[in-house]
Amino acid sequence: MKQKAYAAAGVDIDLGNKVKGTLPKLLASTHRREVLGKVGGFGGLFALDVKKYRQPVLVSSVDGVGTKLKLAFAMDKHDTIGEDLVNHCVNDIAVLGAEPLFFLDYLGTGKLEPHVFTDIIKGFARGCAANGCTLIGGETAQMPGFYQAGEYDVSGTIVGVVEKSRMLNGQKSVKRGDAVIGIASSGLHTNGYSLARKILFEQLKFQPGDFVPDLHNTVGDELLKVHVSYGPLVQALLKKFNRAGRPDRVKAFAHITGGGFVDNIPRVLPAKCDVVIRKGSWEMGPLFQLLAERGGVDEAELYQVFNMGVGMVAVVAAEQADAALKFIRSQKRRAWLIGEVVKGAGEARVE
């Protein structure tokens, strides 16, 4: 059979349709009862149950995973990238108290490789199922000549919901004396990879498959550790500590992504409050120690580029700090009291 002209030009529609035919089975684990229709339509349909809320507020976020993809390409390991992306997006809306409802993905590549596509979607599905949100749709674009051979890009959009009266607003509730709790990350998560790759692969001459005793792992596997989802933990904390009819005890969360402590924590602070983060008050982890000791990067910049072992920060009333810390640890999460809220100008500093 003569090859179709579009396929000869690099875009195989028939292959794309064949690969996408596996989606219903892959996405079954993410189904929620509110979903209408089937995957593959021009738009995903989700019937929000408004009876559960007095004033539902939809919360959305969009993101990618940056140059962490370079590790996936180098190691030909693609089943964690989708999970990274879902968890990152879940965390971004969790800081407002929102429950995730549905997620949409975008995958752009030069040539569609079926096993790569399937592994990426498996990661999306695993992340969505773990967070209780539906993978409701997406887009796969074949763009020959646009991407390097063997490379692709992914992004995702999440939509969640929160009751307006229960939406977290640290700018109104945070005050001097509040405690700051740091919750452990699994590693770099999805930020700082351009600098980390420069240090590890260009300066220190490591290869992704090199086993490093200090890391107890290969460099590649350490860098591909999945971005932690804090969504279920945030919901559990709010349910336990923030009850209707009394002041909120858990006041704010900050997702420590690009910008580290100094750029992310100020997003949830009042104009007249600062947060002081105490260095050495948490277990940093061997990867961050390696980057700090051998990277030749100014210490202040390290805390702005990397999460340094803390992926989420919670601001809680001082008298509830011990109880909140105990509860977080009971949920099998490592956490530490890492700072406090002081008088200031809406900034965060590491001392």
Query: What pLDDT, on the 0 to 100 scale, is given for residue 32?
Result: 87
pLDDT value at residue 88: 98
Cβ atoms of residues 96 and 165 within 8 Å: no
- Most distant CA atoms of the chain, gap in Å: 75
Within 212-344, residue ranges assigned H as helices are 219-223, 231-241, 260-264, 286-294, 299-305, 321-330
pLDDT recorded at residue 43 = 87
CA distances from 130 to 88, 105, 126, 134, 227 (A): 13, 16, 6, 10, 13
Q: Where are the alpha helices (DSSP H) in 295-345?
A: 299-305, 321-330
pLDDT score, position 41? 76
Beta carbons of 152 and 116 less than 8 angstroms apart: yes
pLDDT at 112: 86
Q: What average pLDDT does the segment 278-285 reach? A: 94
Quick one: average pLDDT of 187-202?
96
The tokens for 80 are: 């964690």
- Domain borders along the chain are 5-166, 170-350
pLDDT at res. 2? 65
**What gap in Å lies between CA 78 and CA 63, rounded to an integer?**
18
Query: Which run of H or of E encompasses 14?
Result: helix 13-20
Q: Is 337 helix (H, G, I), strand (E, B) or coil?
A: strand
pLDDT at 185: 98
Answer yes or no: is pLDDT of 270 > 70: yes
CATH fit for domain 170-350, picks 3.90.850.10, 1.10.630.10, 3.90.650.10, 3.30.930.10: 3.90.650.10
Segment 121-176, tens digit of pLDDT:
999 999 999 999 999 988 989 999 999 999 999 999 999 999 999 999 999 999 99
Q: How big is the chain, counted in residues?
A: 351
E strands present in the chain: 35-36, 45-46, 56-64, 99-109, 134-142, 152-163, 179-184, 211-212, 217-218, 250-255, 273-277, 310-316, 335-343, 348-350
| pLDDT > 70? residue 78 | yes
Average pLDDT, the chain: 92
Query: Is the C-alpha dihedral spanning 201, 223, 29, 163 positive or negative?
Result: negative
User: How does pLDDT run across 196-226, given as a tens digit for each residue?
Assistant: 999 999 999 999 999 999 999 999 999 999 9
**End-to-end CA, the chain:** 69
Using CA atoms, how far apart are residues 342 and 180, in angstroms rounded to an integer?
11
Q: Tokens for 227? A: 């971005």
> What's the confidence (pLDDT) of residue 31?
85
- Mean pLDDT value across residues 69-80: 96
pLDDT given at position 6: 66
Does the pLDDT at position 346 exceed 80? yes
pLDDT beyond 80 at 79? yes
Residue type at 170 in one-letter notation:
G
Fold of 5-166: 60s Ribosomal Protein L30; Chain: A; (3.30.1330)
Q: What is the pLDDT of residues 309-339, one digit of tens each?
A: 999 999 999 999 999 999 999 999 999 999 9
Asked whether residue 24 carries a pLDDT value surpassing 90, the answer given is: no
Report how far residue 242's alpha carbon sits from residue 328's, in angstroms, rounded to the nearest whole number: 15
